[in-house]
Amino acid sequence: MRHQPEAPPGLSPDVRAGDSRRCSDVSSASGLDGDPLPLNFPQTFLPDRRLLGRLMAFAAADGRGDKETIGAATGIPTGKSTGKVEPMIRYAQGMGLIRAAKTDGVWRLSPTLLGQVVRREDPFLSEPVSLWMLHLLLSRRCGRTLPAVGVADAWFALFAEGRFRPEQRFAYSDYLDFLIARHGEKGYLKPLSTLAPRMYLEDSSFEAIGALTVEGTASEPRLARAAAPVETRFFPAYAAYLFLVWDDQFGGDRQLIFQEFARETRLLAVLGWSNVQARRWLEWMVDRGLVQIDRYTGDPVLLRLKETGEVVNALYRELV
């Protein structure tokens, strides 16, 4: 039997995403879906940008059907060994593109505000700005209950929990050990520990953003994280992410302490940034009138000046 590593402090080895908790009790027209995803929701499938685009179009139309109906309408395979419909739904849900509910085998899909904006501006998911936005949302924390888990916990563990930092190089086995420490011994964890990184190595998926790369040799590959680009064209995506998560986890609060927000949501960890790198983005948000920052108390306090819908609709505004 494989040796089970020590669980991180405060996290029971049998904790799993997809339990009875909800990620948010906040309901709004622009909000994210409130449910965590089952840990093994991908099965064996990567998110395919082309198929996600078709699914967004289906959700924007009727949005109702069983998986065979959805497969017929979108061209997403539905066979026993190639049944990608439900994994694609779960990916789109975790990425904040759609809301999804299933009753008696029938799915009801509807676009979020983010999904509407992305479909209007980038229906084929070819823009790195879109892909960074979706990557961040897939990697986000589920609520603020303890122990901390992610909406898609394999991604949260990889990118947000601080175990694997951009300056590190680590093996697939290191990631697998961390998943086992969080969830216990499960047969699907080994394939999941290669699938989640592979999402960033396949052109049909999210390779374009380079969030994860492979170094070393074929016999001894090492994974390397990349920090989110500190570039103005991506700043609207990070701002939209901040406002969506702000709504999701801090409800009606109009102001918050930035460091507290970053700590609770793992914001800087998932971006792979230091406080110095974050400062340039915060100053950009002030310049664009999204927030006001009060520094007199020591830690920056953000006061929101725009509504989330305005920020999400400006997702592509800095693209030349």
| Residue pLDDT, tens place only, 238-258 | 999 999 999 999 987 999 999
Task: Give the class (CATH, top level) of 232-313.
Answer: mainly alpha
CA distance 302 to 164: 28
Read off the pLDDT of each residue in 112-121 and give the average, rounded to a whole number: 97
CA distance 99 to 115: 9
Alpha helices in 171-271 (DSSP H): 172-183, 189-198, 235-250, 258-265, 267-271
pTM over 0.75: yes
- The pLDDT mean for the chain works out to 91
For the chain, give every domain's residue range: 232-313
State pLDDT tens for residues 204-226: 999 999 999 999 999 999 999 99
Dump pLDDT digits (tens) for 259-272.
999 999 999 999 99
Q: What is the reported pLDDT for 20?
A: 53
- Classify 141 as helix, strand or coil: strand
Query: Which residue from 119, 115, 140, 118 is spatially nearest to 130, judged by alpha carbons?
Result: 118
